[in-house]
Each structure stands twice: as C-alpha cells, then as structure tokens.
Amino acid sequence: MDYSNLSVSDFIKESKKGNIDIDDFHSVFFKKAEEIQKRYNHFITISKKEAKDSITKLDRKSTLAGLPISVKDNICTRGIQSTAGSKILENYIPPFDATSVSHGKEAGGIIVGKTVQDEFGFGTFSTNSAFGIPKNPIDPERSCGGSSGGAGGFTRAIDMPHIALGESTGGSISCPASFCGVVGLTPTYGRVSRYGLIDYANSLDKIGPMAKTVKDSALMLSIISGNDPLDQTSIQQKAEDFTRYCGKDIKGMKIGIPKEYFKGIDKDVEKTVRSAISKLEELGAKTVDISLPTTDYAIPSYYIIATVEASTNLAKYCGMRYGAQDEIKGYFNEYFSGIRGKYLGEEAKRRIILGTYARMAGYRDQYYLKALKVRTLIIEDFRKAFRKVDVLAAPTMPIIAPKFTDIEKLTPVENYAMDNLTVGPNLAGIPMISVPCGTSQNMPIGLHLLGDHLKEGNIIQTADAFERM
C-alpha cells in the first residue's frame, strides 16, 4: 500500500477499520525517517525499537490508532534519551513520560523519536544544538527555525501521516512552523501540563502540536490538554474537542490588525500577510486596526525574565545530582565550573550569565522586577485588544527562513530581535497559531493568529477557514 500523502484523518479511519498493516506502515515510515535524517538531521534519537514494542500493545479502536508522533527532545519520554539538545544531559534516559506524552500514548500514538532543538530552547534558528543543526527540507541552506526546529522540519519533510509535539517559550512553535510551512499551535499557558518538561523558563514554557493541517493540530491539542495534578501551573480546565471549531465559517468575526507588528518586517512578508488578511475579509470577517503600545518593550522584558528563570533552572546541572559528571576533585566551585564549561554550549552560558546578573542583589529590582511590571503592562495591552476583537492577525516572523551564512553574521542582540513578533504573546500566555499563507523566494510565510486566554477555538476556527480557502 502507498502511504504517501495519506492524511492523518484518513490514516486513523482506515487503521480503525483494520485496512492498514501497522507493522508495514511503521516499517515504511522509519525507512523514510532515516533517509530524511541523513539529509536534514531532524532527530537526536529515532526510537525504532520502542515504537515496535508500543505497536504490539496498540488498541486499534484508540483515538490515534497507531499514528506516529515525534517529540521535542526537552519533553521526557520513558526509556528514550531526552537531552534538551544539550551535552550535559546526553544519555539521560527518563524513567517516566511527560504528561503530554502519556496522553499521546494512551490515545494510541506511537512515539517515533526525539527531535533536534536549540540547547534548552535557547535560540531562534536551531543553530545552538549540541547534536547538529537541522536543515530546512525546502532549502537545506536555510534554517528550520527554533527552537523546535527538528519538529517543524520533519513535519514538512515526511510525506506520511504524523504529528509533532513541540514546545514554545518565546515563539519556538510558531517560528519553525512559519519557516517550514506547517501549522504550529501554541496553547494558553497552563492549558497543557508541563509535567515532564525539561524547563527553560517556568512561567513561559508551553507544550503544543505541530502538524500539516489546522485540524490535525486541533486533534492533538484535544488529546494533550486538561488539568494535571502533577503540574502546579496546570489550569482547572477540562479537556475539550478542539476539532469542533474546524469546518465553520468566520462571518462576523472581528480581527484586529496590530500596527506595531508590521514595522520593520520584510516587504514580501508584509505583502503576503496583508493579502491573507484580505482573504479573511472575503470570508466575512471584519478587520479593525489595533495598537499594542508596549510591543517595543517585549524583547527586553522577555529576555530578562527568561534568562533569570533559565539561570535558576540550569543551576542543578552542576555535575552532582543531575546531568554529566566527572571525577570529583578540587574545590566545589572549580568542579562545578569545569562541568558547566565543558558540557554547556556558548549560548547556554551567555543566558545563564545574563540571568544570574539580572537576579543578583542590587540588580534584581532594577532589572527582573521591572521586567515583571512591564510584562503586566503587555498582558493588559492584549486584554484591551480582545475587548474589541476576537482574534489578532499578524506576520509570524519578520523574515523568511534565513540562510545559515546570514545567521552567522548576526550579533546576539540582532538574533534576539528576530523574536519581536512572538515574545509578546508568549509573555502574555495567550494562545496562537501559525498557518502558511504564501511564499517568497519559494520559502513559506506564516500568518500568525492570536487569541485571548482560553480562546483556542477562535484561532483554530479562523485558521481552518483560511486554510480551506
């Protein structure tokens, strides 16, 4: 049987009927995955043996009925190496599954591997991974985006049914979705349990799906969402079927266009996104000009808060209880510095130093607490906007996927500035979805749809209507 270009919904339907030989299907899937891996390096670990074991226990009547699921490498998977893209966690084999992974398995998903990412999520282009750089399957000289680069790249490259689990702190689902031309859905903070996630920044991290279609991402969100007593940040909200928002029209939907999100972006990106917004108007949506005045403060606020939390989270990787270890000798500070200097990458060290500085006595009030106050203002900006509109529409990224040669020329500050359109929504903890809306130089451009807290339905409904058009 030819499984190429078989949709997720058709796969599930046929698998439940017993019309698909699951062993043969996964044999073909892994053969293709290994070929893709040789060319584009989307995986840190391909879990072929573990997948075969799961197939023997598969319930064909389950929701996903044997669908392949890849998992970003900072989401723990029982019995499968989980490194968060860092040498300091190389060979770490979790004895448990993250709650999102457990939900996926219980629904009949088969974990096929762990995808490449920037180390601990520290990056916009997946160029900071300790296990090689993932290449964009549309143009291997370009980035997949970060930090869920492997997830976005593989979702685009594989021509068989599959859904990826990604994770976003400042835009790490939306960015690779835009650069690779797939759908990336980032839920409201707390909608999906963070239990089993190797943290970057606790108050910002969100697990979400990446898929070929809006409906596929909505299906996966339905499976992984819901309250979890193991996660203190998990909200008291029952899981719901988000696919029910697909197939609807958007007549009368009010869509806000934030003027600040169209400043300093590539001309082709702006033209394409504005054209996409015009198509939403053709579908019956009404557009309203909106201002988000605190947009310029999102980058400095985010990078202070995120690095402070990262500095705290990564302190445990010191060569004693967690992560890589060496022979213990000398003074403790020399030993800790030696371990961290040897096994952490340059960007991880940079962010740890920045975060440690910002939370030091004498600087905490000046930087960290002030950044938290700015975050409150950013949240209020979005609240005011959503009193007027149902959805906000903007470019996902200011540029198309850049070439690696161009990335090398960027300073750290220029690199961080690339996140200008995604860090604000992440600071606010609101849901967002990136859906392909056109191309420039044959590379995809993403339309970013943002919703109010717990209003995933609005953005899924809008994105699906656009996708069907």
DSSP designation for 225: B
For 105, the 3-state DSSP assignment is helix
In this structure, what are the phi and psi dihedrals at residue 157, rounded to the nearest 5 degrees?
-75, -40
In DSSP notation, 273-307 reads HHHHHHHHHHTT-EEEEE--GGGGGHHHHHHHHHH
**How far apart are alpha carbons 16 and 19 in whole angstroms?**
8
Please check whether residue 206 is in contact with residue 168, taking contact to mean a CB–CB distance below 8 angstroms: yes
Instruction: Report the residue count for the chain.
Output: 469
**How far apart are alpha carbons 45 and 90 in whole angstroms?**
11
**Chain Cα centroid distance, residue 110:** 20
Q: Which of 124, 29, 134, 122 is nearest to 74 (CA)?
A: 122
Please check whether residue 184 is in contact with residue 174, taking contact to mean a CB–CB distance below 8 angstroms: yes
Q: How many CB atoms lie within 10 A of CB 281?
A: 12
Pair type for strands 110-115 and 43-46 = antiparallel
Handedness of CA 244, 250, 251, 252 (dihedral sign): positive
Q: Burial, 232: exposed, middle or buried (Cβ in 10 Å; 0-12, 13-18, 19+)? A: exposed
Q: Give 443's strand partners.
A: 440
Amino acid at 47: S
Q: Which residues of 319-356 are buried (b: 16+ CB within 10 A; e: fewer)?
A: beeebbeeeeeeeeeebeeebbeebbbebbeebbebbb
The catalytic residue positions are 72, 147, 172
**How far apart are alpha carbons 296 and 293 in whole angstroms?**
7
**How far apart are alpha carbons 342 and 323 in whole angstroms?**
12
DSSP designation for 242: G
